[in-house]
Structures are given as C-alpha cells and as structure tokens.
Structure 1
Amino acid sequence: MKISGVDIRPGNIIEYEGGLWRAVKIQHTQPGKGGAYMQVELKNVMDGRKTNVRFRSSETVERVRLDTKDFQFLFAEGDQLTFMDKENYDQVQLPRDLLGDAAEFLQDGMDVLMETYEDKPISVQLPDQVEATIVEADAVVKGQTASSSYKPAVLDNGVRILVPPHIASGTRIVVDVYEREYVRRAD
C-alpha cells in the first residue's frame, strides 16, 4: 500500500531501497523556506542497521503489512531457538540474535507473537512482562533512604536488574522484558 512520506508513523514497516525498514522515530519539520518534510529514523528489520531519511510530502513509499501468528517457545539448542505454530504445530528454528536481549527472558512454553513477511520470520515479540525469581540480591545498607534507592539483583535467568530494598533472594517478581526493570512483586 503506497503512502505519502509525511504519513509515516513510528512502528510502520516500509520498503526502502530494496529492504524492509521499521520507522523508529519521526520528526515533522516545516522550514521557513521550502516545503515541509518528515525526518525519519529507520531500522532495517533484517540486519538492524539504522539510517536517517528525509521524506517530502510529494514522495510515496510502500507500506508493508506483516502477518502475525501465535507461536509457542519450545526449547533452545545452542544459538537456535525452536518455536511451534499453535495452529498447525509446525516447528520453526530461528537464530537467537533475531530476538536480541529479550531472548534471555524466554521460558519453556511461553506464548509469543511472530511477525512474518512472505512466510519469512522477521521478528518475535515476547509478552511485555514476565515473572522471574531473584536468586541473588545485595544486602540493604542501613541509613539509605527508601525513596529512590534500588539495589542490584540477579534473576534466575542470569539477568541483572535493580530492585527495591525490601526484595530479598527467593522472591518472585514481575519484570518488564524490554526495559529490564522491576515492575512489582508477583502474586
């Protein structure tokens, strides 16, 4: 579907110079002299390269629609992750680096959303928040104010995050996968 260059929004996937690019940031600029344009930061969905492009209102780009499907994470074997299509039970193996840092939060049986373009997996989205157990937490230093003092802790998947002082080892917490932040205690 063709759209005007100034109609690009963050999150849109466009075809640009023979590749698929995701719009990360946009800035609409209207200079005093000349026509308005949209400054767009693009990230290549295949290899992660970034570029900045200026689109004028007269230019059109091809907006790509990705198909989304529900998959379930089965297991990791080396650098390969195996997912199962929840409809037809087909299995797909993907490289770990396709998920980036979020791969550390994968749990057996976790439901994920896979985006595909022409039946080729482009990205895998995990739930925004997952439960994890604290395996190691620093002791609280007496005299610290409780308002904004957080202490380092290690989760059962090896990820280091900051938690409030009252959280101890063995506590189940909810963690934001993409921000890598403590959200709350798990119920």
Structure 2
Amino acid sequence: MNDGDRVAGRAARTKRADARRNEETLLDAAAAIFVASGVEAPVRDIAAEAGVGTATIYRHFPTRADLIIAVYRHQVEACAEAGPALLASSATPHAALGQWIGLFVEFLVTKHGLAAVLQPDNAGFDALHAYFLDRLVPVCTQLLEAAAAAGEIRPDVDAYELMRGVGNLCIGADSDPRYDARRLVELLIAGLRRPH
C-alpha cells in the first residue's frame, strides 16, 4: 500500500465518521423537536435545530416515516449502549439498573406520537418491535444479572417481564398531568431489592 492509498483510506474513514456524526446530530435534533412538538412538527424546525437545510433532511430521510423510524432506532441504540456504560460507572449494579430503567422510561414517555405512527397495522411495526426487544432485553438482562450476583435484588426477575411492566406503568403518562409514571417505576425498582 502506498502513501496515496493510506491517505485516501484515512480520508474515507474520516468522511464516514463525519457522516455518522452529522446523522446523529440530525436524529438528536429530530428527537428533541418530536418531544417538544410531536412527530408532525415541521421539517424546517428540525433542520433549524440541527443547523442544516431541509434538503439535507430529505436527502437522508425521504419521508417523515423514514425519519420517525430512524429516530426510534437511534433512541433504542442510545438506550442499549447506556446499559454497559452505567454498569461500569455506577456505585452498584442496582444503581446502574435504576439509572438505566430511568432512561428506558424517558424513552417510553417522551415518544410523543411515535407509538401512534408505529401501530401494529403498520408494515414495519413487527420488525421495529423485534429490533427493540433484541437490543434492549439483553441489556436489561445483563443489569439484572449483575444486581442479582451482587446480592442486591432477587435472582428470579425476568428482563422481558420487568420491561413490560415498566411499559405498562408508562401508558398514559403523557396525557394525565396527575399521573407520575416515573415515581411508580422508581417504587417498582426499589421493590426488587432483597430484604436484608
């Protein structure tokens, strides 16, 4: 390999890394706008938040559904990646589990309209739901197993059941100001602790 090939390879990797960062910035901006204004927010608002032109958004995501699905997947990835990082940086595995479940709750209660767009009769729903489970259930399992191995929680907690329970507690949280799903989920996670 000559110097020209090495320079070209480095440039291509830098360009790919820049493109990934730009797409992440765009997806973060879209997520913020969706939380604030719902999924029907004008594309120009998303573009302004991301610091790009609307043509850039349409080049990456030709339809609103493409953008919504990409935001959903991006948020699932962020939640999945947070689990191991929290486990490595938290004082205890139970603390990491609590923090991760907090992120999971934020994901669930701030989707504003994603659920309406991603209904079971939508052709891509099954694939997205499978992706969601494939990415997040193993992370939750890892956190639960670490907390159980540390003797902090009961060893018989199933990740899917816990996530399903948390999801059920979050239903309606965005439409009733008197209902605090986060508080109930905190009580649920505290209840996993083993009695001393």
TM-score, structure 2 as length reference: 0.24
Look at both structures and tell me which one has the larger radius of gyration over its CA atoms. 1
Greater helix percent: which structure? 2
Which protein has the bigger strand share? 1
Bigger RCO of structures 1 and 2 (CA < 8 A, at least 6 apart): 2
